[in-house]
Structure 1
Amino acid sequence: MIDTLQQKRATRFVLLTVFAYAIGFGIIMPVLPELIVELEQVSLSEATWIGGLIAASYAVFQFLMGPLVGNLGDRFGRRPVFLASLAGFSVDFFLMGFAQNILWLFIGRSIAGALGAIFGPANAVMADISSAQDRAKRFGMVGAAFGIGFMVGPALGGLLGDIGTRVPFFVASALAACVFVYGLVAFPETMPASSRRSFSLRRANPVGALLSLKQVPGVLGIAAVYFIWVTSTNIYPVSWAYFAPIKFGWDSKMVGLSLTLVGISMALVQMLLLGRVVARWGERGAAIIGLSSATLSMLFYAFTNSALLTLVVCLVVGIQGMVMPSINAMMSQRTPVDSQGELQGFNGSLAALAALAAPLIYNTTLSYFTAADAAVHFPGAPFIVSSILAVIALVAITRLNTATALATE
C-alpha cells in the first residue's frame, strides 16, 4: 500500500473527480431534452424516447467495455486508466456541446461509456489505498461525493441553460478538463508494479470477467445481490420523474426538490453513519439495514396518497445508501489485489445491464397501470416490483456464506 501522503492525495483527487463528474452530469440533465428537440425538430415526447436511446448507448458500451478498462488498470496501473476515463468525459461533453446532429450525441455518450465511466476506476483506487475493513467507508465517501455534486449540478444547469442550450455542455467539459490537468500533476499511482498482472484478452470482457471471478470464493453470490439491488434502486432515476407528477401532480421543481432531499439524505448517511454501522455490525449488517429500509420506503411510495409524508420519507430514504458501498466492499475484500480493477469493471457491466433492464421493467409497468383504459389505476405498481427485488436481495444476502477469508489487506 502507498504511503500516507500519497493516500491523501489519491483520496482527494478521487473525491474531487467524482464530485466534478456529478456536477457535470447534473448540469446537462435539464438541457439535454431541449438540445435533442433543437437538433431533431421533434416534440418533447419524441425527444424523451431519443434521450432514452442515447442513455442506452452509454450503458451498452459500459457493459461491453467495463471489464476491459478494469483489466487494463490491473495491468498498467490506475493512474492512466482513471485519467483516460476523465478525458473521455471531457470529450463527451465537448462533442455534445458542438453537436450538429443527433449522431454526435450518440458518439459522445458511447465514448464515455466505453472508457469505463468514473465509478469503476474510482473504486479501484479506493480499494488500493484502504484496508479490507476500511473499504466500505471509502466506497461510501465516493458515493457521498457524487451525491453532493449531484445536488449542485441540476440547479447550475438550469441557470446556465437560460444563457444557451449548449453552454452547460461546455462548462461540464471545461470542468472535467480542469480536473484532468490537476490529476496530471497531483494524482499518484496507487497500484505498485509488483501487484500488477499480465493482461489477458480472455478476461477483458463480461463473460471472461465472470468466469475469472467465479474462481474467487464468495464473489459471484455477492455480485448477484449487487445486480438485483442495482436493478431495484434504478426505479428512482428511471421512473420517479414520471411517477411523482402522476401520483401527486408535482411539477418539475417539486420533483427536483424531492430528489435533492434524497441526495442530501444519502450523502449524510454515507459520510456520517456508514462507518459507524460497519464498525458495529459489519458490511453485511449495514447492507441488511439498508435493504430493509429500502423495502419499507418503496412500499410506502407504492401505497401512500400523502405528498407531505412522501417528502418526509425522502429525508430518511438515504439509509439505503449503505447498501452499495457495503456490498462492493464485501466483494472487494475477497478479491486479490491484482484483480480489483477487473472486479470494478465487472460491477460496471452489471450496473449497465441493470440500467438497461430498469426502464423496461418500471416504465412499462407504470404505463400499463396508468393508461386511460387501465382496469386498475395504480401508479405505485412499479414500486411493488422494486420492493420485491429488494426483498430478494435482502433474503439472499442474509443467506450468503460470509466465512470466506479476506483476500487482501
Structure 2
Amino acid sequence: MTGDNAAQTSRSQMTAASAATSPIAAPRLITLILLSALSVLPVNMTLPALSNIAATFHADLALINLSVAGFAIFSALTELVAGAMSDRYGRRPVALAAISIFVLASLGCAASNDIGTFLLFRMLQAAIGACFSISLVIARETSGEREAASKFGYLAVGWAIAPLLGPTFGGLLEEFFGWRACFLALALLGAAALALCSRELKGPATRVSGPRRNYLASYRQLLGSARFWAYTLCMICSMGTFYVFLGGAPLAVGNSLNGSSTQLGLYMGMVPAGFILGSYLTGRYASRFQRGSVVVAARSLTCIGLLVGLALSMSGVTYILAFFGPCMFIGIGNGLTMPAANTGVMAVRANLAGTAVGLAAAMRIAGGALISSIGGLFLAEQHAVQVLFGIMLTIASLALSAALAAAIIDRRTSE
C-alpha cells in the first residue's frame, strides 16, 4: 500500500512538473520583438518633450525628471513581480494585463491636466516592463535551448533599436503635434501589441497545476543556485561596464570634441550600435555553440577591446577613435552576453523561468546602477581616459570571471 501511495505521489509530481513546463503555442518572432521593443521605448521616446511638459504643468524640470527615473524604477519592480506571476497564472494573461494597463496609462498621460496625475499615469506605464521578461520566457518555452539563445539575439536587436529611434520619433511628434501626441502614439502601439498578443499567444490560462508556490520560496530556490548567481553577476557586471562608460565618456573626451554635443552623441552611439551587432550575431550563430562558450567568448572580447584601449591611451594616442573604437567592444560583448546569459538563468528551474528572468533583470538594473555609482567615485579630470579604461576593464574582468564560473557549472551539470 505504501509503495502504491509513493508511486501515485510520484506520478502526481511528474504530472504537475509536466504541466508546469508544457509548451505553449509559438507566436511569430516579430510579435516577440515588438513586445521587447515596446518594453523600453517609453523611456526614451518622451525625452525631447520634457521641457514642454514642464511648461504645460508649470512644474520644475527636476520634478518632471521623475517621469524618467521613476519609470525605470517601477519597470524593474514590474519585472521582478510579473515574472513570478507569469509562472503562476500563465504568460498570456499577464502579458495582456500588462499591455492593457500600459495603453490606459498612456491615454491617461495624454489627458492629464496636472503634474500629479501625469506622474501617476507615467508610473503605471511601467507595467509594460513585464513584456520584456515574458517575451524571453515564451521564446525559451517554444524553442530548444540553443534556438532560444538565437531568438534572444533578435529580441535584443529590437530592444536596442527602440531607444535609438525613440527620441527621434518622439521629437518629431512633439514638434508637429505637441507632447501629448507622444503618449497617444504609445497608446496606439500598445493597442497594436495587444491585438497581436490576443491572437498569437495561445498558452493555457493557468500555468501551474497542483500546489501553488510561495513567491518568496521561489526566490529562495533561485538565489540558492550557483548557476543563477554566476549568470546574473555576469550580466550585472556587463551592464555596469556600460553604465560606467555612459557616465565617464563625456568627462573623458568631451574637451577633445570642442564641446560639440552632436559629435559626442554620434560617437557614443557606437556602443549601442555594437550591442545591435552583437545581438544580431547571436541571432545568427548562437544556436551552433554551447551557451557557456558564447558568454566566455563575449566577455573575453570586451576585455581585449578595453585592454587595447588602455594600452593606446597609456601610449599617448589621443585620436578620438582610439577611445570609442575599443569601447565599441563593450556593446558587442553585451549583445553577445545577454541572450546567452538569460538562457542560463532560465535553465536553473524550468518551472520558474519567468521568476528567474524577472529577478535577474531587476538585479541587473539595480546592480549595474550601483556599480556605475561606485565607479563614478574614481573618475577624475586628470588622466581621465586611462582611469576610465582601468575602471571599465576591472568591471569587465569581473564579468569574465563570472562567465568562466557559469561555464564550469554548466559543464559539471551536463556531466
* Structure 2 residue identity aligned to 1:154: P
What pairs with 1:274-353 in structure 2 (closer than 5 Å)? 275-276=284-285, 279-280=288-289, 282-298=290-306, 303=313, 305-310=318-323, 312-313=325-326, 317-320=330-333, 321-336=335-350, 338-353=351-366
* Structure 2 residue identity aligned to 1:319: I
Q: Deviations over 1:210-232 (max 9, x none)?
A: 41213546223322323232322
* Counterpart among 94, 103, 109 of residue 81 in structure 1: 94
Highest Rg: 1 or 2?
2
* Counterpart among 29, 39, 58 of residue 11 in structure 1: 29
CA 1:217–1:296 in 2, change beyond 3 Å: closer, same or farther? closer
**Range with bigger deviation, 64-73 or 101-110:** 101-110
Are 2:192 and 1:183 equivalent residues in the alignment? no
Alpha-carbon offset, residue 128 of structure 1: 1.1
Between the two proteins, the alignment pairs up a number of residues equal to: 384
Asked if 2 retains the 8 angstrom alpha-carbon contact of 1:88 and 1:111, the reply is yes
Alignment partners' CA distance in 1, 2:76 and 2:39: 19
Scaled by the length of structure 2, the TM-score of the pair is 0.78
Are 2:396 and 1:387 equivalent residues in the alignment? no
Gaps of 5+ in 2: 1-21
Are 2:50 and 1:32 equivalent residues in the alignment? yes
Are 2:237 and 1:224 equivalent residues in the alignment? no
Which runs of 4 or more aligned residues in structure 1 lie more than 6 Å from their structure 2 counterparts after TM superposition?
Answer: none
Alignment partners' CA distance in 2, 1:166 and 1:242: 34
* Counterpart among 408, 411, 415 of residue 403 in structure 1: 411
Asked if 1 retains the 8 angstrom alpha-carbon contact of 2:43 and 2:71, the reply is no
* Structure 2 residue identity aligned to 1:143: A
Gaps of 5+ in 1: 371-375
Alignment partners' CA distance in 1, 2:386 and 2:51: 26
Scaled by the length of structure 1, the TM-score of the pair is 0.79
**Range with bigger deviation, 93-102 or 155-164:** 93-102
Alpha-carbon offset, residue 339 of structure 1: 0.6
Alpha-carbon offset, residue 114 of structure 1: 5.3
What pairs with 1:110-259 in structure 2 (closer than 5 Å)? 110-113=123-126, 116-163=129-176, 164-189=178-203, 198-203=211-216, 208-216=217-225, 218-236=227-245, 240=249, 245-246=254-255, 248-249=257-258, 251-259=260-268
Taking every aligned residue pair, what percent have the same amino acid on both sides?
18
Asked if 1 retains the 8 angstrom alpha-carbon contact of 2:299 and 2:337, the reply is yes
What pairs with 1:26-105 in structure 2 (closer than 5 Å)? 26-36=44-54, 39-42=57-60, 47=61, 50=63, 53-105=66-118
Q: Deviations over 1:177-222 (max 9, x none)?
A: 2222232233322x6857556544442xxxx554121354622332
* Structure 1 residue identity aligned to 2:138: V
Alignment partners' CA distance in 1, 2:253 and 2:79: 33
